[in-house]
Structure 1
Amino acid sequence: MRTGHSRPTSVPLPAESAVAKAYASTNLADAYAIELPAGASAQPELLARFIFAHQPPWIGRLMKVRDALVAGFGLKTARHLAALEAESGAGRLGIFRIYSTGPTEVVLGEDDKHLDFRLSVLCSGPSSTGARRRLVLSTVVHCHNRLGRFYIFLIAPFHRWVVQSSLRSAARSGWPPAAEA
């Protein structure tokens, strides 16, 4: 559904999101919201699939660099995670494990020896003031050790750039209409 697109904005972690209380302590927590146009799907899993399918090409190249750097530390690579999806199909959305799905939110993530993380794609309805629906992509990370904390320190700026660029790219591509839901 092609319409004018809005820009993602940094917002507080939504209290209604399952990831808001995913961990007792977090080493990274952020959320970015983008307005959904009228007529766009409100199904969070469909929207998550759409976002990941419409990422800018440079994100794939960045993931290859990341994989080359972390493979020597025994961390999971995108290639390894993609192979898990190919093997099981169910319960995964691309490189991410699906932890829960509901009418307004899908929670994705992965656990590894250095850290665990969860991503939420949450669709909120229009408010009583008539504001449009919005999609909020939230991330929370819990580190297990120094490697995890060092990793987050290094990738946090890239993470924020990737999230915002992914939302902008999906909006430019045109959100899937509610009819596809």
Structure 2
Amino acid sequence: MTTAISAVDVPPNSEIASRLAGAYYYDSYETTIKPTSQSALELYLQVVAGTPAWINTMMALRNRVVALFGLKNLGGLGDVDAAKPAAVYRVGDRVGIFTIRYLSEQEVILGDSDKHLRAEVSVCKAQDKVAVTTVVHIHNLLGRVYMLFVAPMHRLIVPASLRNARFL
């Protein structure tokens, strides 16, 4: 069974919606899920646990290339401690390549900043849906150039990650 992944508007009542002002780039993808008592962070952990191999390969390539420009090696999207339960994470904790910036049962916002941009990813759950939203604020020309390459790939990565998620 193939699950539909749709590009949607940013969920209007989400915390991430309040972070759109001045964004250089944002997108949001949504899919239907079975009703669940899992938190938004638990859903995020399931998404990254099922990261397709080609995405990890692309992240490794990204890390090698950006090192030439003095940017951070983020590691892989799925580089998360699988033994650590979601319930022990708090705002400020690192979860793989991101740091938790906002945390509630319904939404988690994770992000990272560098000299070229600030990126935040939200997983926001509703009764039978989950939306993954990305918001990027750039700081300089390097950020603009970086996004020329990343934005097209990002439009492939998020839907592929959702398709591969273990909660579907």
Distance across 1 between alignment mates of 2:76 and 2:55: 17
Distance across 2 between alignment mates of 1:166 and 1:80: 13
Q: Deviations over 1:130-179 (max 9, x none)?
A: xxx10000000000001001111111010110000000001xx4x18xxx
SS at match of 2:68: helix
Distance across 2 between alignment mates of 1:80 and 1:140: 19
C-alpha change, 1:29 and 1:144, in structure 2 (3 Å) is same
Distance across 1 between alignment mates of 2:2 and 2:77: 31
Which has more radius of gyration? 1
Higher relative contact order (CA 8 A, sep 6+): 1
Letter in 2 for 1:141: V
C-alpha change, 1:81 and 1:45, in structure 2 (3 Å) is closer
Letter in 1 for 2:13: E
SS at match of 1:16: coil
Distance across 2 between alignment mates of 1:59 and 1:80: 8
Unpaired runs of at least 5, structure 2: 82-88
The equivalent of 2:103 in structure 1 is: 101
Query: Residue 121 of structure 1 is aligned with which of 115, 118, 123?
Result: 123
CA apart distance, 1:24: 2.9
The equivalent of 1:19 in structure 2 is: 16
Q: As a proportion of its length, which structure holds more helix?
A: 1
Distance across 1 between alignment mates of 2:38 and 2:4: 18
**What is the TM-score of this pair, normalised by structure 2?**
0.86
Contact kept in structure 2, 1:30 and 1:138, CA below 8 Å: yes
The equivalent of 1:148 in structure 2 is: 143
Query: Residue 69 of structure 1 is aligned with which of 48, 65, 69?
Result: 65
Map residues 1-181 of structure 1 onto 2, 5 A cutoff: 4-38=1-35, 40-79=36-75, 91-125=93-127, 133-170=128-165, 173=166, 175=167
Structure 1: which 4+ aligned runs deviate by more than 6 Å?
80-83
CA apart distance, 1:99: 0.5
CA apart distance, 1:117: 0.9
Letter in 2 for 1:50: Q
C-alpha change, 1:33 and 1:80, in structure 2 (3 Å) is closer
After superposition, the CA RMSD in angstroms is 2.3
**What is the TM-score of this pair, normalised by structure 1?**
0.80
Unpaired runs of at least 5, structure 1: 126-132, 177-181
